[in-house]
Amino acid sequence: NNTISTLFIGQNFIKLSSVDSTNNFLKQCLANSEPLTEGTVIMADEQFAGRGQLNSKWLSETGKNLTFSLYLKPHFLPAMHQFYLNIAISNGINRALRDAFGINATIKWPNDIYYENKKIGGVLIENILSGHHIKHSIIGIGLNINQSIFQEELKTKASSLQLILQQRVNILQVLNEICKHIEVEYLKLRSNKLELLTTDYLAHLFKYKLPSLFRINGEEKLGTIVGINEQGNLMLNLDDKISVFGFKELEFI
């Protein structure tokens, strides 16, 4: 009953009707020492405690969107290079949307999926380290598919595939395309093609090289994204000097 056309990503596929969070489900499997094969995908129709980055909540209308978690074992990846996993995953989602659905999506640093000025998806990666390497990686992905109504404060900030394409979209087809493209990007990561991954990431980075407003330490500043460093920090040209920022240190406005 598995239609996912990949080598390993999504070959072990579990679909739940309701769960607190698919990331939590995988964490629980690891905590119980259940054997998990690399590439396992847990998908849910409903999450009643979906989580986003920075302790935020991830709200998603039941049955309308794609919410799943992928289990990977990137043992080869040094902990200091863990951001390359974010890059590979973002690139995979982006490529799936572009190649299979013709959507000119972008990646908003670090790993939000955007269309024009609206968010359509997000990624929550939870790595478990062992020494200086990554032992387990839980990659949670939420993508708005057929949701067409958003709560008032999200109306100008969120969109979905249905709103973009003006037609209903098959959720499992999107999952299949994302798994396929993530697999391609993950294999690049496994063969250490870090420069290629970074080039592709920057090619679709939201506001890359465009002077934009940011909120930094409570102050509005005009800056230009000029790149990311090996740790995944954002490099901004501010007043003709390059400054480097971590995830919590700046906001796009």
Positions in the binding site for ligand BTN (CB under 6 A): 21-23, 47, 50-53, 56, 58, 67-69, 112, 122-124, 140-142
Q: 144 or 198, CB closer to ligand BTN? A: 144
Closest distance to ligand BTN from the beta carbon of 131 (Å): 27
Closer of 52 and 196 to ligand BTN (Cβ): 52
Nearer residue to ligand BTN within complex by CB, 74 or 142: 142
Which CB, 138 or 236, lies closer to ligand BTN? 138
Angle at CA 167, nearest 5°, toward 63 and 105? 85
Task: Please tell me the distance from the alpha carbon of residue 198 to that of residue 221, in angstroms, as a whole number.
Answer: 26
Question: Please, what is the minimum distance in Å from the beta carbon of residue 25 to ligand BTN?
Answer: 8
State which H helix or E strand residue 29 sits in: helix 22-31
Torsion, CA 110, CA 171, CA 61, CA 157, rounded to 10: 40
Residue 175 CB, nearest approach to ligand BTN (Å): 12
Q: How far is the CB of 55 from ligand BTN (least distance, A)?
A: 9
- For the bound state, the minimum distance from the C-beta of residue 222 to ligand BTN, rounded and expressed in Å, comes to 25
Which C-beta is closer to ligand BTN: that of 52 or that of 224? Answer: 52
Between 52 and 227, name the residue whose CB sits nearer to ligand BTN.
52
Residue nearest to ligand BTN (CB): 122
**158 vs 163, beta carbon nearer ligand BTN:** 158
- CA-to-CA distance for 17 and 100, rounded, in angstroms? 26
**Please, which residues bridge with residue 50 across strands?**
none
Nearest to 141 by CA among 95, 202, 222, 86: 86
Calpha distance 80→100 (Å, rounded): 33
Least distance (Å) from ligand BTN to the CB of residue 51? 4
The DSSP bridge partners found for residue 215 are 220, 251
CA within 13 Å, CB half, 145? 21
CB of 129 to ligand BTN, least distance (A): 20
Are 143 and 113 a contacting pair, CB within 8 Å?
yes
39: closest CA among 5, 67, 63? 5
